[in-house]
A and B are shown apart, each in its own frame.
Chain A
Amino acid sequence: MKLSRDKLKSSFLQKVAEMSGEDIASCYQCGKCSAGCPLEAAMGILPHRALRLLQLGCEEEALNFDAVWLCASCHTCESRCPRGCDLSRVMEALRMIRLRGGQSPVHPQEVDEEILQRAPQQAIVSCYRKNIS
């Protein structure tokens, strides 16, 4: 992984900061967000590492961080962060950048018919809002 000062001035990082409203540099990598994350086991890379990638200006790696689709926006990380950095909002910014770029991990026509029959509207609407561009 190549690090450079130029990477830290990228418009991508500025966009993430603006869309999330969070100060990414404030994170000191204590890992409390990852320790409390209910979906951490399925994420592969621990959530606090996504913030580290952003701090180092690694745009490509941050945009390939597929665990953003597993973040349930439960705000457990936010409630435990000693630095007041809301990781849920950073995850949302990374999702939105990908959704607006045309990537959608969920396709309505491919969702299991049984799920659509059984799940409450609330679950379906919220899933589509978070996963479909």
Chain B
Amino acid sequence: MTARESARCLGISLEELEDWQCCGAVFPLATDAIINLASPFRTLASAHQAGADLVTLCSGCLNVLRRTNKLVAADAEIRKKLEDFVEMKYAGERKVFHLLEVLRDETGFDQLQKKVVHPLDDVTVAPYYGCLLLRPAEDMAFDHPDKPVIMGEFLRALGAKPVSYPFQTECCGSYLSVSSVDSTRQAASAVLKSAQAAGAQWLVTSCPTCLYNLELAAESLDEPPRLVYFTQLLAHALGVDAYLEENGALAKNVMPEVN
């Protein structure tokens, strides 16, 4: 809802796919685990039927959908199996975007900057990319795999000051926060400490699991950076957060005060 309202404000119309389903959260890496591709395949085929490309707000969804899309376009045997199983035709005709890419390529960060009503006046923010947006680089082709810039440019357009720090593309521990909490805490703490050392007041992410893992790690740190989802920053900067608060969309993760 935060993203939809922000997009509307920028003149982008986002339509929720009627029969979307979970992408499965992880891209299956075993060459014979084809059944796990059925769910993302079905979502891609549904978007195709609706005559639209797909936009995701989550790094994980982007990773699974984009890799599945590439695979079904390239591998006729797997495509045939999926088409028969799901009973829908699809051969990778559509594109899958992350909202950040849409803001960069469709809206343009310079245009976004012009629409900002509450600039994040020089708040220092650490852009956190993690794994899923960037790797495997060959499949994702999202940004430079080691020195990505898209989030920094996004933050600058909102008036914030992005900080550069070495752990911006390191893994936060992913789903180990369910099966091995200590390992996750260790990996996520390293990310937070690195951002902290670079002087970040806030840290921005585009993945719910990263956000959760970093929240876990932040509990045992002194004055950790405040953690926000990129759509929260967007909504705030565009001035649609008052509307969203009334509708309860920001109830769980409240935007930190800009000071």
Instruction: Say if the beta carbon of B2 comes within 8 Å of chain A.
Output: no
Q: Mark A67-102, 1 if CB is under 8 A from B, else 0.
A: 001101111101100000010110011001000000
Q: Once the chains bind, are A120 and B209 in contact (CB under 8 Å)?
A: yes
Question: Which residues of A are found within 8 Å of B174, using beta-carbon distances?
Answer: 72-74, 123, 126
CB distance from A55 to the nearest CB of B (A): 20
Q: Once the chains bind, are B176 and A76 in contact (CB under 8 Å)?
A: no
CB distance from A9 to the nearest CB of B (A): 21
Instruction: Say if the beta carbon of A1 comes within 8 Å of chain B.
Output: no
Tell me which of A38, A41, A96 contacts B170 (CB under 8 A).
A38
Tell me which of A79, A86, A89, A127 contacts B179 (CB under 8 A).
A127
CB distance from B169 to the nearest CB of A (A): 8
Question: Which of B146, B178, B213 neighbours the largest number of chain A CB atoms within 10 Å of its CB?
Answer: B178
- Bound CA–CA A20/B173 (angstroms): 22
Q: Once the chains bind, are A39 and B183 in contact (CB under 8 Å)?
A: yes
Question: Which of B175, B209, B211 neighbours the largest number of chain A CB atoms within 10 Å of its CB?
Answer: B175
Q: A70-B180, A127-B178 are in contact. Are A122 and B131 (CB under 8 A)?
A: no
Interface of A is mostly: helix
Q: Once the chains bind, are A119 and B136 in contact (CB under 8 Å)?
A: no
Q: Once the chains bind, are A72 and B171 in contact (CB under 8 Å)?
A: yes
Q: Once the chains bind, are A106 and B171 in contact (CB under 8 Å)?
A: no
- A-B interface pairs (CB < 8 A), number: 128
Q: Once the chains bind, are A119 and B178 in contact (CB under 8 Å)?
A: yes
Q: Which of B17-33 contact A (CB under 8 A)?
A: 22, 24-26, 28-33
CB distance from B74 to the nearest CB of A (A): 13
Q: A38-B187, A131-B179 are in contact. Are A121 and B22 (CB under 8 A)?
A: yes
Q: Once the chains bind, are A115 and B176 in contact (CB under 8 Å)?
A: no
Question: Which residues of A are found within 8 Å of B211, using beta-carbon distances?
Answer: 120
Q: Which of B185-221 contact A (CB under 8 A)?
A: 186-187, 190, 207-209, 211-213
Instruction: Say if the beta carbon of B181 comes within 8 Å of chain A.
Output: yes
Instruction: Say if the beta carbon of B73 comes within 8 Å of chain A.
Output: no
Question: Which of B170, B176, B190 neighbours the largest number of chain A CB atoms within 10 Å of its CB?
Answer: B176
Question: Which residues of A are found within 8 Å of B183, using beta-carbon distances?
Answer: 39, 42, 70
Question: Which residues of A are found within 8 Å of B213, using beta-carbon distances?
Answer: 123
CB distance from B179 to the nearest CB of A (A): 5
- Bound CA–CA A71/B73 (angstroms): 28
Instruction: Say if the beta carbon of B148 comes within 8 Å of chain A.
Output: no
Q: Once the chains bind, are B176 and A72 in contact (CB under 8 Å)?
A: yes
Q: Once the chains bind, are B177 and A123 in contact (CB under 8 Å)?
A: yes
Given A119-B212, A123-B208, 14 more contacts at CB 8 Å?
A19-B31, A19-B32, A75-B136, A89-B30, A111-B178, A122-B58, A122-B60, A123-B174, A123-B177, A123-B178, A126-B26, A126-B174, A129-B25, A129-B36
Top 10 nearest A-B pairs by Cβ distance? A74-B171, A92-B29, A75-B135, A127-B178, A127-B175, A126-B25, A72-B174, A120-B208, A126-B175, A74-B131
Offer 8 A-B interface pairs, CB within 8 angstroms, sorted by A. Answer: A18-B32, A39-B173, A74-B135, A106-B179, A119-B209, A120-B212, A125-B24, A131-B179
